Copies of this chain bind each other. A is one copy, B any other.
């Protein structure tokens, strides 16, 4: 514990506020506060203004729950994408990661979290009803169930698996195709250091070698 006496109440309050950020201790918060104190006032106001604007003005796409500057995000508004393939993810960051691969041309559905009894997060806290509505809307438009795919792209831990299982049970009656991300060794991973579960899955899901 780094127990400082602060020479100024304003400094102490700023350090307290900055130290609430994840991964920032009181020592780092003091360093950041003193850094901000040395910057021109307009730079500091630009920083706080950008943070306030993010929190106050950002919207969530009414289709997929992704953050967006308008009612519909740029991905859902893009008619060249496959709107019958819906990749279900936990968070905004997951969408950004998948977009970064450049390998996916479908759309997304951001749950906004994952089912976690320990953290008190149940299905009703997540955008699961909206996912069902999206599927029902597609079916009502006359899209055949076999032409719709839901990709469950949740993390591979217990909570992710639980959420995937729950979603599958909610969706299966609609008859749409449900898939999940391939699990296996990462590129460049060393067999020797792979955990048994991952390695086992890699063997089960082995693929025809295409040189």
Q: Report which of B55, B69, B91 forms a contact with A9, defined as CB distance below 8 A.
A: B69
CA A14 – CA B54 in complex, angstroms?
A: 6
Do residues A35 and B21 form an inter-chain contact, with CB atoms below 8 A?
A: yes
Bound CA–CA A22/B44 (angstroms): 13
Chain A 31-50 per-residue mask, 1 if CB under 8 angstroms from chain B, else 0: 11111110101011111111
A30: which B residues are within 8 A, CB to CB?
93, 96
1/0 per residue A62-78: CB within 8 Å of B? Answer: 00001111000111000
User: Known contacts being A7-B67, A11-B67, A28-B23, is A18 close to B51, with CB within 8 Å?
Assistant: yes
Contact A17–B67 (Cβ < 8 Å): no
Interchain CB contact (< 8 A) of A54 among B21, B33, B56, B57: B33
By the criterion CB–CB under 8 Å, are A4 and B96 in contact? yes
Say what secondary structure dominates the interface of chain A.
helix
* Residues of B contacting A92 in the complex (Cβ-Cβ under 8 angstroms): 7, 34, 37
A125 contacts which chain B residues (CB < 8 A)?
A: none
Give the residue of B8, B21, B57, B95 whose beta carbon is less than 8 angstroms from that of A7.
B95
How many residues of chain A have a CB within 8 Å of chain B? 59
User: Chain B: which residue is nearest A58 at the CB level?
Assistant: B10
| Chain B proximity of A49: nearest CB distance (Å) | 8
A121 contacts the other chain (CB 8 A): no
**Nearest Cβ in chain B — how far from A11, in angstroms?**
6
Q: Does A5 contact B (CB under 8 A)?
A: yes
How would residues 88 to 111 of chain A score, 1 for a CB under 8 Å from any chain B CB and 0 otherwise? Answer: 000111011001100000000000
Contacts A39-B55, A48-B52 aside, 4 further interface pairs with beta carbons under 8 A come to: A10-B69, A17-B46, A23-B31, A45-B52
A interface residues (Cβ-Cβ under 8 A, vs B): 3-11, 13-14, 16-18, 20-23, 28, 30-37, 39, 41, 43-58, 66-69, 73-75, 91-93, 95-96, 99-100
List of 3 A-B pairs having minimum Cβ-Cβ separation, nearest first: A48-B48, A17-B50, A14-B54
8 pairs, CB–CB < 8 Å, chain A vs chain B: A7-B74, A10-B69, A13-B54, A18-B51, A20-B43, A21-B35, A37-B54, A48-B49
